[in-house]
Amino acid sequence: MTSECESHRRETDPDWVVSRDCDQPPQLASAVVDSKDGPPRRTIYPSDVDEISLLAQWLTADVTDFADLGEWR
């Protein structure tokens, strides 16, 4: 498990690399949140990191900004 200090170091020290099994891609999860003031938003985040790392490892955009890969193959 990554400690809070290691997580901070990863963000501030570009020479520090977290070792990861390159044969195993990161496990991603997503959640869609409806909004009264705008379009629904989808957030994609790694499901296999600790809570501290999760604070900086996510992406959110309008649902319409995502493409179905099956439609583009």
Q: Is there a domain that residue 61 lies in?
A: yes
8 Å CB contact between 60 and 38: no
Instruction: Give me the pLDDT at residue 22, please.
Output: 61
Compute the radius of gyration of the chain from its Cα atoms: 15
Residue span of the structural domain in which 69 resides: 26-73
pTM: 0.60
- For the chain, what is the domain count? 1
Is residue 8, in this structure, part of any structural domain at all? no
Q: How confident is the model at residue 18 (pLDDT cuts 50, 70, 90)?
A: low
Residue range 38-65: average pLDDT? Answer: 91
Neighbouring C-beta atoms of residue 8, cutoff 10 Å:
14
Closest C-alpha to 61, from 35, 27, 22, 36: 35
Residue 63 Rama label (left phi>0; alpha psi -120 to 50; beta): alpha
Domain annotation covers residue 7: no
Q: Residue 6: enclosing H or E segment and its boundaries?
A: helix 4-12
